[in-house]
């Protein structure tokens, strides 16, 4: 986390960086998950990402990113439930240009940044197959994201040879944006017991192939 770090702007001014989100919802040795929520016209101040990260949109509004180095602004419109992957990036700020609240879950991949310990693939070509029955909505850069939709009483079983994963709620059990972390190696069954449909995203850390493929 970089809040309080001082950087020099393009005109020699000193700028004190803020955090990359408002609230840390989950933090362990592998990932850190933030709440980012901006009212119309609100800005997330200048900040710096030391870790690669995912952005999962919970509520969409047109936004733009300004870059401290003077590069052209990046204008973005995300889709609710959509996922983007971004590498560590230069100092920037995010502004909500729309008339609706913008919200996301920002997932820092600490294994690939501040906690990096070398080759996480185990040095081999092993691949992690997709979970049967779950549609894949994103599969890049060692991350695979599934769409999870369950009616009341529906279940999905995950085999034991899975890497660690996050489950983030979009609608259904609990408030939208609820997040839980599940380590590798243990069988899991997702069962929806609520009266309404559950919609979420299951985010597998498939870059951890040596964990997923242990004998």
Cβ-proximal residues to 213 (8 Å cutoff; 6+ apart), any chain = 122, 126, 128, 161
pLDDT band for position 201 (50/70/90)?
very high
Comparing C-alpha atoms, which of 161, 115, 171, 119 is closest to residue 142? 119
Q: What is the CATH number of the domain that holds 46?
A: 2.60.120.10
The answer as to whether 181 is a domain residue is yes
Based on the fold, state whether residues 63 and 10 are members of the same structural domain: yes
The answer as to whether 130 is a domain residue is no
The answer as to whether 21 is a domain residue is yes
Last residue of a domain, one of 97, 112, 127: 112
Q: b/e map of 23-43 (b: 16 or more CB within 10 Å)?
A: eebeeeebbbbbbbbbeeeee
Q: What pLDDT is attached to residue 131?
A: 84
Based on the fold, state whether residues 92 and 166 are members of the same structural domain: no
| Sheet containing strand 165-171, strands side by side | 136-140, 143-150, 198-204, 165-171, 179-182
The answer as to whether 188 is a domain residue is yes
With a cut of 50, say whether residue 122 has pLDDT above it: no
pTM of the full structure:
0.88
Based on the fold, state whether residues 10 and 107 are members of the same structural domain: yes
Do 101 and 37 form a contact (C-beta atoms < 8 A)?
Answer: yes
Comparing C-alpha atoms, which of 12, 1, 19 is closest to residue 93? 19
List, for residues 70-103, the tens digit of each pLDDT value: 889 999 999 999 999 999 988 999 999 999 999 9
- Residue ranges making up the domain that contains 202: 136-212
List, for residues 145-184, the tens digit of each pLDDT value: 999 998 888 888 877 778 899 999 998 766 788 999 988 8
The answer as to whether 73 is a domain residue is yes
Based on the fold, state whether residues 84 and 155 are members of the same structural domain: no
Based on the fold, state whether residues 25 and 98 are members of the same structural domain: yes
Helix (H) or strand (E) holding 158: strand 155-158
Q: What pLDDT is attached to residue 125?
A: 46
The total number of structural domains in the chain stands at 2
List, for residues 27-64, the tens digit of each pLDDT value: 999 999 999 999 999 999 999 998 999 999 999 999 99
């Amino acid at each position: 986390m970089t809040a309080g770090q001082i950087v020099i702007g393009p005109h020699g001014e000193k700028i004190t960086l803020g955090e990359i989100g408002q609230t840390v919802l989950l933090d362990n040795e592998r990932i850190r998950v933030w709440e980012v929520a901006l009212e119309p016209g609100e800005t997330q101040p200048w900040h710096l990402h030391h870790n690669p990260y995912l952005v999962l949109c919970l509520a969409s509004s047109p936004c733009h990113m300004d870059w401290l180095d003077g590069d052209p602004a990046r204008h973005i419109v995300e889709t609710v439930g959509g996922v983007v992957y971004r590498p560590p990036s230069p100092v920037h700020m995010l502004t909500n240009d729309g008339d609706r609240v913008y919200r996301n879950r920002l997932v820092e991949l600490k294994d690939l940044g501040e906690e990096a310990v070398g080759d996480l693939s185990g040095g081999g070509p092993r691949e992690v197959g997709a979970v049967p029955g779950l549609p894949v909505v994103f599969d890049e850069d060692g991350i695979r994201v599934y769409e999870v939709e369950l009616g009341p009483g529906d279940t999905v079983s995950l085999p034991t040879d899975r890497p660690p994963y996050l489950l983030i709620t979009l609608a259904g059990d609990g408030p939208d944006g609820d997040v839980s972390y599940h380590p590798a190696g243990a069988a899991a069954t997702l069962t929806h017991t609520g009266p309404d449909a559950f919609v979420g995203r299951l985010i597998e850390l498939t870059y951890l192939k040596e964990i997923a493929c242990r004998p």
